[in-house]
Amino acid sequence: MKRILGITLLLALSLLAVGCSSSSTSSTSPTAPQAQPGAVFVTGEDAPLASVVGFQVTINSITLTGQNNSPQVLSTPTTVDFARLLGLRSPLGFNSVAADTYTGATFSLSTPVISYVDMTQNPPALSTINGQFSPTTSSATQTTVTVNFPSPMVVGSNGLAGLKMHFDIRQSLAVDGNGQVTGAVNPTIYASAVQAGSSDGQITDLTGGLVSVNAAMNSFVIQGPYGHQLTIETSSSTQFNSGWNINNLATPAFIGVQGAYQADGSLIATNVEVITESPSFLSGRVLAVNPTSGPVQQITLWVGETSADLVSDIDTIQTIDVSAVTQYDMCFFDNLFTNALFNDSSVIVGQRIFIGGSYSNSVFTPQMISLRFQGVYGMLTQGSVNILSGNLGTFQLQNNGLIGYSLGGAPLTVGTGNGTLFVDTTGLSALQSGGSIPLVAGGLLFVNPLTSTPVMAAAVVADPPQQQ
């Protein structure tokens, strides 16, 4: 049993080493950038709470505190679902700012909405409640939070700096004695200055519709999240999924990108994935499969993202007939091992998946399913770290959300490799001596073929910030 599980993890980790993992290589553009004023990019991520699948909050503005200036790096109200960013990092904004030293930021927030799943019901039920800020600075639906950076953000002339916003849902949402969300929100935000090419400055979650392609300039434009169009540059180091390159990209297509910001606001891509050429899609977390073993016929999905024609399905639970689907893909991969690791018999509760297809006469017809990169939060099981060589090994993570439900309360086995990125922790050896600590593991969630339970191949392992 251990041998089969080990082979599965090693195979998956070998793929992650060239695919879904974040890269810490230089983000230098293949062409020298033109002189630009100082600029700051903003990214968002979160630490989750069990059963919460959606936490939307509108960021009205983000204002930096500088020695001589107080510029806004986000001025257009932007609604972000931080629960979707579990273990992921998404671009929120990019703005020119005056050269200065900045020591903190003030976040103006409004209208929090919480969506959570009751897994005790069959089928699972979704509840959505309007949150109320407590304590408040102005009203129950609007507040401001000021955060000091651990170290100053220095923006030089023609320079580029980054602001990482970490919204800790786990510490922000109040629960009652039974663990149920009450609706009270006391925002806990961590913010820090980052560099574009650093492990915590790179973009690990960017998807959007392809707008245009300029193959001669090795670039393309996508319609990204929050209404932004982003220019993506590629180089000889950019990895495309199998069968694709800059010369055969064409609309319509839905694209995934990992990479780093450049001084002109474009991204230099480390990985580019053509997820689908299908015009319609649903994406979210698997809540149930039918049957529970063998080839899946129906998937019950909490829907977090859709194409424009299916937008009414966002924040709903949908049961989708997938019996006719034969194409199964994985995040940033398409090779000989794909079908062995992810197929119609290895869809499981807790996975984040993308279903592409067509929509006609109010009927969605699925045509492909892609396993997506996701994060899992939990407490490290003390004594569970097993090191084979360097960072190659496994550990166990106790999760009380969908993954814990799928495992019947047992811990999740997480496999790491020498290509796994460790953030705010130095590696497996540090975990071995760290005791029972909170961790976020990000990667692909596979199925142990012997037990039909989840097992993760981790591209990144992070020790999330803790409330002081």
The domain defined by 280-371 folds into OB fold (Dihydrolipoamide Acetyltransferase, E2P) (2.40.50)
Q: pLDDT category, 5, cuts 50, 70, 90? A: low
More confident residue, 272 or 400: 272
Q: Span 200-229, mean pLDDT?
A: 89
Between 375 and 213, whose confidence is greater? 213
In the predicted model, is pLDDT for residue 182 greater than 60? yes
3-state secondary structure of 5: helix
Strand partners, 114: 55, 129
Question: pLDDT band at 465, cuts 50/70/90?
Answer: low
Fold of 2-19+374-462: OB fold (Dihydrolipoamide Acetyltransferase, E2P) (2.40.50)
Number of residues that make up the chain: 468
What is the layout of strands, in order, in the sheet containing 298-306? Answer: 316-321, 298-306, 280-290, 352-360, 363-371, 327-330
Q: Which CATH entry fits the domain spanning 205-276: 3.20.20.450, 1.25.40.10, 2.40.50.320, 3.30.9.10?
A: 2.40.50.320
Residue 352: pLDDT above 70? yes
- pTM summary value: 0.81
User: Of residues 31 and 163, which shows the higher confidence score?
Assistant: 163
Annotated domain spans of the chain:
2-19+374-462, 39-194, 205-276, 280-371
- Look up residue 369 and give its two tokens: 């399913």
Instruction: Give the pLDDT of residue 17.
Output: 52
Structure tokens given for 270: 């480390």
* Whether the domain at 205-276 and the domain at 280-371 fall into the same CATH topology: yes
Can you tell me the mean pLDDT for 138-167? 90
The 10s digit of each residue's pLDDT in 239-286 is 998 889 999 999 989 999 999 999 999 999 999 999 988 889 999 999
- What confidence tens digit (pLDDT) does each residue in 127-139 have? 889 999 987 556 7
* Mean pLDDT, rounded, for 162-189: 86
Reported confidence tier of residue 144, pLDDT bands at 50, 70, 90: very high
pLDDT of residue 452 exceeding 90: no
For residue 83, pLDDT beyond 50? yes
Contacts of residue 329, defined as CB under 8 A and 6 or more positions apart, other chains included, come to 275, 338, 342, 368, 369, 370, 371
Contact, 71 vs 64, CB < 8 A? yes
Give the per-residue pLDDT at 15: 53
Collapsed DSSP state (helix, strand, coil) of residue 404: helix
Percentage of the chain modeled with pLDDT above 70: 86
* Mean pLDDT, residues 449-461: 85
Non-local (6+) Cβ contacts of 353 within 8 A are: 283, 284, 286, 299, 301, 347, 369, 370, 371, 372
| Rounded percentage of the chain residues whose pLDDT exceeds 90 | 45
**pLDDT tens across 219-240, in order?**
999 998 777 899 999 999 999 9
- How confident is the prediction for the chain on average, in pLDDT? 84
